[in-house]
Each structure stands twice: as C-alpha cells, then as structure tokens.
Structure 1
C-alpha cells in the first residue's frame, strides 16, 4: 500500500491536460485540470513576479544555505543529503517565492517533456525529502507550504536574490517579457543587471498577497454571442469533453505501463543504504537490515546485476553525486530511499534513478505495521524488477517468519558485520529461540561460532554447536545460499572435513553466482590444501564481485602462497584509493613480517593501530620497537595475550606463533600440540607461515601435520 502525504488531486477527481499541452506532447504526464487553469492564471502575473530568476550565488534562509552552482543545500555549513530532483524542486520554489508554483511547472522544470514519470509519486517524494532535511512538516510548515489543488510555495524568510535588470522601455516590453518567460533558474547569459536593482520587487497593490486562485477579471460590458456562436461553442465543448476523456484513459494506461526506454537500459543496480529517519540512532540496524534484504531479494528475484551490500554500504551518509557513485560501482541504476519506524508503524520511501543521466524514473512509498514488515523487501524488489522488465519467476511462497525473530536476526547481523561477533551471538540465539524453524537464524548462529573460532576467541571444542546450527539451516531451507556457505565453512573448521565442505561451498555459489563469500572461503580452503593457483583465481573472482568486503583478500591469498612481492604490490595499489583502511595496513604488516622486513612490519603495525583509533597502544608499539627492536614487540605481545587469557579464551596457537618467531622451539611445539588436542582450526594454516619453517624437520611438528590430514609442505 503506497502513501502520498502530499497528494493534491483525489483519485476520483477527473484528471486532464490542457489542449496546448496535448498538442505539443501527446505522452505528457497526467496533471489535474485544476493545475492547468492555475497555470494559465499564473501567467497573468507580471513577469517580475511569475518567472524564476537566475540564482547567481548561495541563498541563505535561517540556518540554511542553498548553493545552486554546487547543487548543495547545507545547514550551518554542513551539507545535507538532498538528491538532484528534490534540489531542483526546492530551487524553483525559492526562485518563485512567495508565489505558488504548480505541480505542472515543477514537473516541467525538473523532468521536462522527454521522460515519463508518475508525477504524483515523484513530486510527493521530492517534497517529502525537502521537508525531511529541513525538519519541516506538512501539517505545520515552516518552509514549504502545500496549497491543495494549486501547488506549493516557499513560506520561509524570503531571501534577497541577485539583481534583476530594470524594466525595459515600453517599446521593448513585449520582447523582454517573452525573453523572461523562456528563462529558467540557472540559465546562462542573462540580461545585464542594473547596479542598484533588487530581485524581488514589491508587486502592485492588487498582487501584494500570494496568488491564491483565479484573479477577478476587470469589469467589462456583458457580451452575448449570436445563436450560431452558441452552437459552435457547444460543439467545441463536446469535442473537448471527448478529448479530455481520451486523455484521462490514456494517462491511466501510461501509469500502468513499464517505465521509459531509459529504464529498460538498466541492467545493473546498486542499493544505497536507506537513511534512518526515525530520529533514533539505535534504529540504524533496522535501516541497514532492510537495505540488505532488498539487495538480497533483487539479486535473487531479477536478472539484474546487483552489487554487494558491502560495496554499496561504503556510501552510507555520503554526500556525493549519484552519477559519480554509479561510475565507481560500475552500475547504470541507483536505488535509494529512507525508512522510519515509530512504535508499531514503518514508513519506507524508495526511488529509482538512471545514473548516467541522473534521471528520476520511479518512486514509491510503503506504510506497514511492524508485524507485516518481513515481506516488504521482497514486495519492493518484485516491483522494481517488473518496472525494469527483469523479473524472474517466483519460487514457492515465502515461509512465515516471526517479526520478533526477524528483528533479533537483523540486530545480530548488524553487529556481526560491524565486527562485534561476541555481541551478535545472543541475538542469533534469541532468533532461533523465538522461532526454531527460522533458517536464517540458525545460519547466523553458525556464523557466530565460525567467526569466533577462526579469530581464536571461541574454544574450538564448542564448534560442534556451530556445525549443528549450520546443518539445521540447510535442512530448513535448502535454497538458502548462506546456509550452504556456513555448512561448508563449519565442516572445514570443525571436523577438518574439506571433502564434504567443498560441495557445500559450490552449492552456495550455484544458488547465488554473485555470492563473493562462497568464492572467498573456498579460496581460503584451497590454499591450505596447497592448491595455490586455484585459490588465487577463486579469490580474484571474490574480489571482482565484492572488492570492499575485504580489500586485503587477494593480498592475503598471495601471502599464504608465499608470493610476497605480489601481495605487497596489491596492497599498495589498493591503498592509493583507500589510504585510511586499517585492514590493508594490518595485512601489509603481516606480509612484511613473513618476508623478513621487520622494520617495515613494525611501522605498519603502529600505523594500523593508530588508524583503528588506539593512540595509546600505537605509542607503546613505537616506543617498544625503538628500545628493543622486533623481539621486544613479540615479548610485549606475548604478555598482552597472557593477560587476555586470564579473562577469556585465547588459542594456544596464537601463543605458539609468538614463540616460533622468537625461535623458542620447545614452547612453540608444546603450544601447537595443545592446539591439536583442542582441534583448533588455526593449525590448518601453520604450513603457510615461514615462522614455523625451522620446525619442519622435527617429528613432533610432522605428527601434527599428519593429524590434520593436510598434504605436507616440507
């Protein structure tokens, strides 16, 4: 169910287009007959009142500033997120202030005649966006006022616009008026302005108030046409009525047709993060979760190439032109919007943009009760796919999902993506507790166990619960790519069974060929099996699909294959465009350490810590290396891990690595054996690390490798 808070023309009211518009553009957007009359009356105003003026510089009103040259609206110097179409609507309202601007005039200015859009939805969306960034409201407006059946007007403090030229001489009046009539905000080469002229002149007394309707015509003697004139008038009126009826029916038909040819050219799409307009930062998880689900449903239910959530999520809160974002993401369509949840009500607005031309193609608003929100992403995705002629046949109806379980899952996934795995776990458990047959909830719980184990934060002996959760997810929904991914991952992590793990990872990629995580984890498994070339190709595929999930991914694979120069070159190349990515600096630290360049490793260790926001620890790293070199850093790290182990689980393999770098053989071997008894998955990668090379000839080390079942690399 769509919502239009600024819908000016009731559905049952006849809609038409004036004769002049029909003659010039048979495929015009439908507007109201009232608006056509209003436009005609508007043109009776003197030119100095009715037409927009060129905005040569920034216009201030209250705390806000509109800069037409830069296309930016800001508040106290801070840019606000207002996309091009709403910006142009607002620009015209300010240029015409305090007069009314009809919906038709706004449509002409923003979209012109060459693009078909749903005028009601598109303008309503623009007005809502303007009011949203200005903290304005339709019921108690401070800046933008709605005048039913007439249009909109700017009612804030009227800004002083740049100077207009003085009135032309009488002989030039008609030509000058025609020139002014054809000007628009932003036109180039305007007539020169008089030095002392002001932009908004006081109107004549009879026009001192904003125009509210048809002006009273001057008194004239009544004229009675002859009888033949009455007959011709009735014939004309009848023809006009038939034409109006045809236009109304045609307009309704157009509204049900697919979008323009421009829309049919959209084959790739990015779903930008939905803005959280609830006014409550704790609802960010909900906005991000709905963005993720719309992205997933579009990828699943259309032939569109949809970029990954992590690639699009980097533009959260970005105030950048949409064509620029689209070029960076390699797409020709952008979906953006906002969502707000207040109590048990949810309001979502989305709009579709053809990126190269920055053309607004479609917009829709949805109002739902919170209990009905689970189905909304799929509904929106199906609508978009149909609009773009890219829908695919729908599978069996979606399974019922409890709103409470769904909300718990969204919270858990939000935290998990932020790297807060420990905090995410309880929400995944809550989701499965509320609804035991919720496949995604079980997949999330398996993700929690897998991530925690690989990070050395969860005792590997607990991963049996993660494997069981993954098996439940697949049993509940065999069509879920995430379920097959986590099952493949847990089979590799827990029983070290790569023979069964591989088909599950392949199945995940088959279900969603653009699922980068499936390729990445398969690459991670292959490099431990000494299948380096295959691992590199798989990671390249993962990076191609999602270059922003882990920018260090390919460098990691190169490093595991001991191709250190290739790994360094890859990181340095990515740092050119992402200099502040601390993950890339951590990766560079690890590569330099494995290559033996310990000074560079220490510098990158310090830099990565600083970029993560820990200035105190970065200072300790710098001072420790200056005083005792890299061995001193290893001892400091050992002490840190031991203190941590008094409060939480720390893998013995993490401790073994520090002793191996210090070449303390006995302690390193003893800790590796402890890791083997725990069945730690961290043992699966020790053959790739040169720190253990000095142990290769030791029988205890070889026994550990044989126990893992991995092919030996010594």
Structure 2
C-alpha cells in the first residue's frame, strides 16, 4: 500500500491496525495536509447496498465536530478497497499510556471529562460508540483526549440483526471489546447510550487503578464476572483514589442500566463538582423579584465590580506578585458559563451571563479580554485550561456554571491561573432567584479579596454608572447578537428581527440600535441587499451615539457607514479610533479599521491592525480570513495563501475563506483550483451572487470564456437578488472587455457600490490600472482626502 494513491490521498506509511482495519498516514493532495486513512477489512461491506448504507452512516459521523472526537473527513471506495480519511492525531493511545500504571486523580478527571464530553456530543446526535476502550482513545502530548472509531463497530457489523452483540463480542476476542462491554450487550440486548457509559466506567477504573475492573483470563469467566460479580472497589486497589471518584466509577459500572448515569451530561455535572467544592449560602428573602436576563447581566457586572474595586485586597496578590515573582493579571478569558440544568432553554441564560461578563471586563484598559466570538468556540470543548489559555494567549481564565431549577439558582465561579491550571479561588452559591441583589454583594466581597487590577478613576466612574435595561429588550438584544455573529443571510436577517424587538421594548437602548446598524452593514457588504443599507446603518449609528456617546459599538458602526457609503476616509478613521479608545478590546473596531487602512494603501498598518483584532479573537473565522485579505491586497500572495489555509483549517466550510482562497489561486494562476473554491463558496452560501460572479471570474481567467460569458449574461438579467456592478466590472476585466468594465465601474460609482472603496488596491483591476479613465475613478473616490 505504501506509495499508492486512494482518491486524493497518497499513502505514506502504516501507523496502526486492528479488527477495524489498517491505518496509514497519508497526504491529502488537495489540502496539502497529513491525514489518517483507515482501510476497512476485506469483505466488511459485501455489496453496493451495504456500501451505500455505510456511506450514509459515515456522512452522519463526519458531522461530529468536537475537540475530543477524531474527525472523519471523507469516505470512498477504490479498486475494491473501502476507506475512511480521518484527522491525524499525534500522540499515544490511552492503553499505551496506562502501561506505565495508574494516572494521578487530577489527570483521571481531566481525561475522563474530555471523553465524557465526546460521548455527550455523539449521544445528542443519536450516535452510540459501542466499542469504547483505552485503545480507541488517543492522548496528545498536551493532554487532549481524542475518541476514535465512533460508531464503527455498529457500521461494520454484518447486515444481519444488530442485536447479535454477544456473537460479535466473541469474534472480537478477550483483548478486544469484551472486557469493556456492558452486561446488557452480553445478554444480546440492543445497546443504547448507557452501554457507552458502562464502557466509560471500565476506562475510568483502569485509569484510576492501572488494571481492568475484571481480571478473568477466559472469555466465559470474564462474561460471567461482567454479568454477575461486583468489581473490587478502586480504593482497595489504589489507596490514592478519593471516595468521591470511587463513587462515580462504581455508579458507572452498575449492572442495572437504570441505576447508572443516564446521560453523559449527568456524569459531567458530577465530574465538575468533583473539581470544584460547593459552599451553600443560607436562603434569605428580598421583596423584589428579577427576570433571568437581568440576573445574567447583574452577576456579570458584580463579578467585574469585585475585580475592579478590589485594588487593595490581598488574596491573589501573594500569588501574582511579591514573593512568587509573578505580575498582575493582564489578560483574561471568560469561558462560556456552563448550563447545568437539563432544560435546553436555560442555555441562553448561561450564554447571556458569559456575554455580560465579557462586556464588563472589556472596559478595563489594563486588561486584554478575549472576545465572545473566540471564547464561545470552547463551549463544551473540555480542552485542558492551559491549552485553552495558550490558544487564546491569556494569563488567567474565569469559568463557571449556572443551574436553575424552579426559583432556585446555583452559580459556581472560579478563577484559574492559566499556566499551571491552578485554581486560585472558587465558590458555589445557592440562592432563591429573588435574592440576586444579596448574591451580587456576596460574590463582590469574595472576589474583591482575591484579585488585583489597575482601574482608572474614569473606569471606576463608568462601571459605577451602569444603566438599567428592560429585561425583555436585553434578552432580544442578546439573541440578535447571537444570530448576527453567524454571518449567513438568514441568520443576519433573523438577528435584525431580534434587534427590532429590543428597540420596540426599549427605544432608548443604544446597543440594540448599534446592532441594527451592524445588520444593515453586513447585509450590504455581503451583497444580500443594495448599498442603500449603509445609509440606514449610518442613521442608526448616529442615533445610538446620541443616546450613549461612550458606546464603542456605535462609533464603529458609524465609521462603517462613513467608509463604505460616504467614502469619507478621514471621518471613518476618526470614528474607528474613537471606538478603539473607548473599548480597546472591541475586536470588530480593529477588524473594520484594517479594511480602511488597506483600501488607502497602508498595507502594513492594515496587517498590524488585523493582527490586533486576532489577538482578541484568535479563532475568529472572519478575522483569520481578513488577514489573508490584507496580505492579498498588499500583493503578498504567498503569505495570503498560508494565512487563508489557516482559516480553512479552522473551518473548511466557511464560504468567505473559500472565496478568498479562490482569489489567491487566480493570482497564482491555479485556475482550476480557483474555480473549485468559488464553486464551493457558492454551494456553502446557498448561491450568493458574489460567489456566482466569482465562478465567472475563474472561468474567464482560465480562458474558458464561453462558460464565463454564460454566467455573465445570466447575472445581467434583472432578478430578486442584488448583483453589484463592481463584480460585473471584475468579470469584464477578466474577459478582456476593458470598455465594458469601465462602464460597469461608472454604474458602480453612481450607485455607491460597497466594494468601490477597494478599487485602487484590487488586483482584479490591474489590467485597467494604466487607463486614465480608471485613474479618474480612483481620484473620485476621495478616501485619501
């Protein structure tokens, strides 16, 4: 097999093998990355119907996207060989790791929590592993767990009755599935998610003790032990196992599925509590009740206030300065608050609390605060905290959880030093929902004694003067931001509906007006609506600023309208800089400002500004893509290609990144690749006209003019979707129709087409650059004045 090519994968070396197939390291020729290719056993799929069913299931498995699950990229058949292309994980199996003996309890809980998170993700999608064991779990050098072969045991069973599990187990042998199988599987019952939970108990037992739960040396004896005998208590094998961990393991291994943990989420709650002690607070009463969104905002504000005004407190000072030699916390990430309730409706409550915390922390200039977009990438990620902190480049993290049941709320908050995962402070509060004001004071007193950060008098005053907000307006605003962040036409328009609801509830709520301005900007920029949307954006932003001149989002929104609609570079730059002054942690202000810098030919400044945005939102798809765009407009094409590849590694289904890679491919004369990227962007976007026009550009640049003209003529016809004359001018330029391109630019200029601001730097118009008529257009767009 070595040196052979399967599909687009060139086999390099064998790296593993077993009953599920042989695994090879291979090179993906299309994306130029190493992957793992698993060739399934001969005869596993006996006919085309079986292969078709397998393909359907493999596609379902490919949709499992989770940091603790080994991702499946592709499935195909070639020359009678059925194979899967998967993520290549560097590390050792948990089985290999356990050869050295039991793990420390902290590591058991850390790895176990990650594996639990992987099961939770799969089970919520209706996928049961059926073969969970240490050999199917990889551990990277940084301590990240990756679960392999999800669902593969089920998929590779014969097309006979899937309930014939015992026979399947016997064929696998003692060293395979049997030691980790649940009693109900051995009885021939169809397993559900709770069978995976039992198998996880076997894995936990082995991690904690260094040996299997049952040591019988023959299949019949082992089967009997699993069905009828209780395992030796983990503490009897390893005295360092805590009673709490032993209780969790024994509950996992209960022979009755009804008495085990019923869901992976339920298990994860207990693991979280094992990591963090709970301090109940006696119930008190106040007269006034308060709605859920206000609680989220209030707790966010009070935690910040505790940090902001605890300047002279001790606590963490001894950990971060003085004898320890460590300095103040200068960078922090507020990780997504975890919803420990079983009610999915409470997810929004937890997310709202996260957003409130981030918004309040971001106002302290002495702190660099990671934005919501970036931290939300880690919701349920269960990576190790040092790993998350390294990826986000922060010194400390705040994490917590929320559980609401009836009129009771439990809030867990903890502060963690990122470098060594040291829990500096943690506490759990249990209160009546009406007692939120007492809860605020209690949390403030606790954290004020634990942290030190420099806050200016102006920031103190601003933090002390927070305005109240209609709870319904606040909730609608959070939903609007949630959908706006998704950046598809449907989601942006849905965000608009929620912003409008917020304004209806509270016409003076400036953030909602700013959000509505951002919706208008996005709809116009992506070509979902005409440039007139930017006119409305400017009006909304001015109204938001009139209500609250200290709102950074309002100034940034105004700058967008001045830049893209009025072509007022000086006015836009002033507003961008004001937004950054008000909130240096507002990533969008840096991100949008970089566009202006690039449009005016200040490419190195543009690159630096986009990197500042990425410093706040390191895993933002749009900002990673825009850094490639900055290099592209600066004619640093190789750097643009490298950066765009990074964006696609984050998410290969992000249409703007596919589009940008296509533009780069054109400059590198990789026309076939460009067409493929544009087609993919078009498919992912549901047929956005910007990407349809790009496909025509790819055909024109490659010399396939007939195909380009067909799309070009189609786009000329009036239709429901807006087609920018700027994009039409690009196609005409690629077709060599200089006069027609200039005519389209005249139309674009008259209609204030959004992308005209990029005219002086856009490589698409290099063929026209020497024409005096083109130079006249550049002068008429007065960005430099």
TM-score, L = length of structure 2: 0.54
- 1:314 is aligned to 377
Deviations 1:279-299 (A, max 9, x none): 454654443333222112122
> What is the deviation of 1:313?
2.0
Preserved contact between residue 348 and residue 365 of structure 1 (Cα < 8 Å)? yes
> Counterparts in 2 of 1:370-385, with a 5 A limit?
384=447
**Partner SS state of residue 378, structure 2:** coil
- 1:71 is aligned to 112
Q: Does 1:668 align with 2:668?
A: no
Q: Does 1:599 align with 2:663?
A: no
Among candidates 537, 552, 555, match of residue 625 of structure 2: 552
* Distance change (3 Å), C-alpha of 1:380 and 1:709: farther
**Partner SS state of residue 759, structure 2:** helix
- 1:409 is aligned to 477
Query: Which runs of no fewer than 5 residues in structure 1 stay unpaired?
Result: 1-54, 59-65, 82-134, 137-158, 164-178, 188-198, 201-255
- 2:426 is aligned to 362
Preserved contact between residue 333 and residue 369 of structure 2 (Cα < 8 Å)? yes
Looking at structure 2, the residues matched to 301 and 282 of structure 1 have their Cα atoms a distance apart, in angstroms, of: 32
* Distance change (3 Å), C-alpha of 1:560 and 1:184: same
Looking at structure 1, the residues matched to 606 and 577 of structure 2 have their Cα atoms a distance apart, in angstroms, of: 14
Preserved contact between residue 568 and residue 783 of structure 2 (Cα < 8 Å)? no
**Partner SS state of residue 335, structure 1:** strand
Among candidates 709, 714, 729, match of residue 656 of structure 1: 729
Preserved contact between residue 483 and residue 495 of structure 2 (Cα < 8 Å)? yes
Looking at structure 2, the residues matched to 330 and 348 of structure 1 have their Cα atoms a distance apart, in angstroms, of: 26
> Counterparts in 2 of 1:672-687, with a 5 A limit?
672-687=745-760
Looking at structure 1, the residues matched to 784 and 738 of structure 2 have their Cα atoms a distance apart, in angstroms, of: 23
Q: Does 1:474 align with 2:545?
A: yes
Q: Does 1:542 align with 2:613?
A: yes
Looking at structure 2, the residues matched to 69 and 283 of structure 1 have their Cα atoms a distance apart, in angstroms, of: 25
Looking at structure 2, the residues matched to 473 and 466 of structure 1 have their Cα atoms a distance apart, in angstroms, of: 11
* Distance change (3 Å), C-alpha of 1:422 and 1:269: same
- 1:390 is aligned to 453
* Distance change (3 Å), C-alpha of 1:699 and 1:386: farther
> What is the deviation of 1:566?
2.6
Preserved contact between residue 114 and residue 382 of structure 2 (Cα < 8 Å)? no
- 2:522 is aligned to 451
**Partner SS state of residue 663, structure 1:** coil
Deviations 1:96-139 (A, max 9, x none): xxxxxxxxxxxxxxxxxxxxxxxxxxxxxxxxxxxxxxx99xxx
Preserved contact between residue 412 and residue 426 of structure 2 (Cα < 8 Å)? no
**Partner SS state of residue 382, structure 2:** coil
> What is the deviation of 1:401?
0.9
> Counterparts in 2 of 1:16-165, with a 5 A limit?
70-72=111-113, 78=119
Looking at structure 1, the residues matched to 680 and 609 of structure 2 have their Cα atoms a distance apart, in angstroms, of: 30
Looking at structure 2, the residues matched to 488 and 551 of structure 1 have their Cα atoms a distance apart, in angstroms, of: 22
- 1:352 is aligned to 415
Question: How large is the Cα RMSD of the aligned pairs?
Answer: 4.6
**Partner SS state of residue 320, structure 1:** coil
- 2:387 is aligned to 324
Preserved contact between residue 530 and residue 711 of structure 1 (Cα < 8 Å)? no
Query: Which runs of no fewer than 5 residues in structure 2 stay unpaired?
Result: 1-99, 123-192, 195-210, 216-234, 244-252, 255-312
> What is the deviation of 1:505?
0.9
Looking at structure 1, the residues matched to 318 and 707 of structure 2 have their Cα atoms a distance apart, in angstroms, of: 62
Looking at structure 2, the residues matched to 607 and 67 of structure 1 have their Cα atoms a distance apart, in angstroms, of: 42
- 1:109 is aligned to none
Q: Does 1:504 align with 2:575?
A: yes
> What is the deviation of 1:318?
0.8
Of structures 1 and 2, the one scoring higher in RCO (CA 8 A, sep 6+) is: 1
Looking at structure 2, the residues matched to 521 and 641 of structure 1 have their Cα atoms a distance apart, in angstroms, of: 29
**Partner SS state of residue 552, structure 1:** helix
- 2:638 is aligned to 565
> What is the deviation of 1:414?
0.2
Deviates more, 1:667-676 or 1:322-331: 667-676
Q: Does 1:532 align with 2:595?
A: no
Looking at structure 2, the residues matched to 366 and 700 of structure 1 have their Cα atoms a distance apart, in angstroms, of: 71
Among candidates 347, 352, 356, match of residue 289 of structure 1: 352
- 1:124 is aligned to none
Deviations 1:508-551 (A, max 9, x none): 11122233322222221122122223223322333333332221
Deviates more, 1:573-582 or 1:469-478: 573-582
Looking at structure 2, the residues matched to 693 and 378 of structure 1 have their Cα atoms a distance apart, in angstroms, of: 63
> Counterparts in 2 of 1:182-221, with a 5 A limit?
183-185=239-241
Preserved contact between residue 334 and residue 397 of structure 2 (Cα < 8 Å)? yes
Preserved contact between residue 523 and residue 536 of structure 1 (Cα < 8 Å)? yes
Preserved contact between residue 400 and residue 414 of structure 2 (Cα < 8 Å)? yes
Preserved contact between residue 56 and residue 69 of structure 1 (Cα < 8 Å)? no
Aligned length, in residue pairs:
489
Preserved contact between residue 345 and residue 368 of structure 1 (Cα < 8 Å)? yes
* Distance change (3 Å), C-alpha of 1:365 and 1:625: farther
Q: Does 1:487 align with 2:558?
A: yes
Q: Does 1:442 align with 2:510?
A: no
Looking at structure 2, the residues matched to 553 and 573 of structure 1 have their Cα atoms a distance apart, in angstroms, of: 11
- 1:647 is aligned to 720
Deviates more, 1:427-436 or 1:401-410: 427-436
> What is the deviation of 1:437?
1.4
Looking at structure 2, the residues matched to 562 and 499 of structure 1 have their Cα atoms a distance apart, in angstroms, of: 24
Q: Does 1:521 align with 2:604?
A: no
Looking at structure 1, the residues matched to 238 and 119 of structure 2 have their Cα atoms a distance apart, in angstroms, of: 34
**Partner SS state of residue 527, structure 2:** coil
**Partner SS state of residue 457, structure 1:** coil
Preserved contact between residue 602 and residue 630 of structure 1 (Cα < 8 Å)? no
Looking at structure 1, the residues matched to 784 and 401 of structure 2 have their Cα atoms a distance apart, in angstroms, of: 52
* Distance change (3 Å), C-alpha of 1:551 and 1:697: closer
- 2:763 is aligned to 690
**Partner SS state of residue 338, structure 1:** strand
**Partner SS state of residue 363, structure 2:** helix
Preserved contact between residue 74 and residue 80 of structure 1 (Cα < 8 Å)? no
Looking at structure 2, the residues matched to 682 and 376 of structure 1 have their Cα atoms a distance apart, in angstroms, of: 50
Looking at structure 1, the residues matched to 414 and 500 of structure 2 have their Cα atoms a distance apart, in angstroms, of: 35
Preserved contact between residue 369 and residue 616 of structure 2 (Cα < 8 Å)? no
Preserved contact between residue 601 and residue 761 of structure 2 (Cα < 8 Å)? no
* Distance change (3 Å), C-alpha of 1:702 and 1:293: same
> What is the deviation of 1:369?
5.1
TM-score, L = length of structure 1: 0.59
Preserved contact between residue 288 and residue 414 of structure 1 (Cα < 8 Å)? no
**Partner SS state of residue 479, structure 1:** coil
Looking at structure 2, the residues matched to 506 and 447 of structure 1 have their Cα atoms a distance apart, in angstroms, of: 18
- 1:430 is aligned to 501
**Partner SS state of residue 314, structure 1:** helix
- 2:148 is aligned to none
Preserved contact between residue 521 and residue 560 of structure 2 (Cα < 8 Å)? yes
Which structure's CA Rg is the greater one?
A: 1
Looking at structure 2, the residues matched to 469 and 345 of structure 1 have their Cα atoms a distance apart, in angstroms, of: 40
Looking at structure 1, the residues matched to 637 and 102 of structure 2 have their Cα atoms a distance apart, in angstroms, of: 54
Looking at structure 1, the residues matched to 681 and 435 of structure 2 have their Cα atoms a distance apart, in angstroms, of: 44
